[in-house]
Chains A and B, each alone.
Chain A
Amino acid sequence: MPRLIEPLEFLKSIHEAGVLYLLIGRQAVIAYGGPVQSMDYDIYIDGSEENTSRLLHIAEEFDLYPSLPKDKIPSHFKFRLENSFIVDVFRARYLSLGKSKKISFKEMFERKKVLKGESGLELNLPSIDDLIILKKLRSLPKDLEDIKYLRNIKKRMAS
C-alpha cells in the first residue's frame, strides 16, 4: 500500500490519537465524493485545553506551526497550522446560525460519520445535513455549488 500524502498522514495521526475533530469545508465534500477543489484543510475541534494540546503536539511532529503563540490560542476561536500545507482550526463551542439558533461541536460530533478508506484511514466528518448547515452559514458561490453536490450525494447514498 503506497504511503499517504502528508496531510492525510496528519489527519490519520490526529484520528488515531483520539483528537476530537471533524473534517469540515471542501475537503469534507471531497471525502464524501464531490469532485471540487480546495487549497486548505479545515477542521472543527473540541476547544478544550486538553484536546487542543493533543492536536498541537501532533502538529509539531509534522512541522506545522500555529499562526498564534500557544498562550494566545485559548482566547481565539480560530487559528491556523501551516507549513507545506495549511490546516484552519476552528475551536468555538457553538456556531451561530442566526435568529438566535446555534449548533455546537458536541451535537455535530455526536452525529458524525466516520469514513473508512482502503488503507485503514478513518476520518470524522459531520453528517451531510450538518455539513450543509455549515455551508449555508457562509453561502459563497462555491458553498452553494458544494450544497448541490452534497444533496445529490445524500440521495445517492439513500438509494
Chain B
Amino acid sequence: MKKRSADIKEIIENIKWFSKFSLEKRLELAFRQIKSIKILRGLRPKHAPAHRTA
C-alpha cells in the first residue's frame, strides 16, 4: 500500500514537472532523449526500402 501511494506521488510530481513545458517542448524533449539513445546504440537513420529504389 505504501509503495503504491509512493508510486502515485511520483507520477503526480512527474506530471507536474513535465506539464510546465509547452506541447512542442514536451515532444522535443522526448525526441532528443531518444535520439541520444539511438546514437549511443549505434543506430543510423534508415533509407528508402528496396521497392522504392528498384
Contact = CB atoms under 8 A, between A and B. Distances in A.
B24 A30 contact: no
A8 B28 contact: yes
A33 B26 contact: yes
Contacts of B33: 37
A68 B28 CA distance: 28
A30 B23 CA distance: 9
B51 interface: yes
A38 B34 contact: yes
Please classify how large the interface on chain B is, using the bins under 10, 10 to 19, 20 to 34, 35 or more: 20 to 34
Contacts of A8: 24, 27-28, 31
A119 B24 contact: yes
Contacts of A123: 23
A98 B52 CA distance: 37
Given A34-B15, A84-B45, A152-B15, A121 B23 contact: yes
Contacts of A86: 46
A91 B28 CA distance: 26
Contacts of B17: 35
A152 B12 contact: yes
Among A33, A34, A82, A149: residue with most chain B CB under 10 A? A33
Given A5-B27, A118-B24, A123-B23, A149 B49 contact: no
A152 B27 contact: no
A19 B9 CA distance: 39
Contacts of A36: 30
User: 4 smallest A-B Cβ distances: which pairs?
Assistant: A117-B23, A84-B45, A35-B18, A33-B19
Interface of A: 4-5, 7-8, 27, 30-31, 33-39, 65-69, 82-86, 115-119, 121, 123, 148-149, 152-153, 156
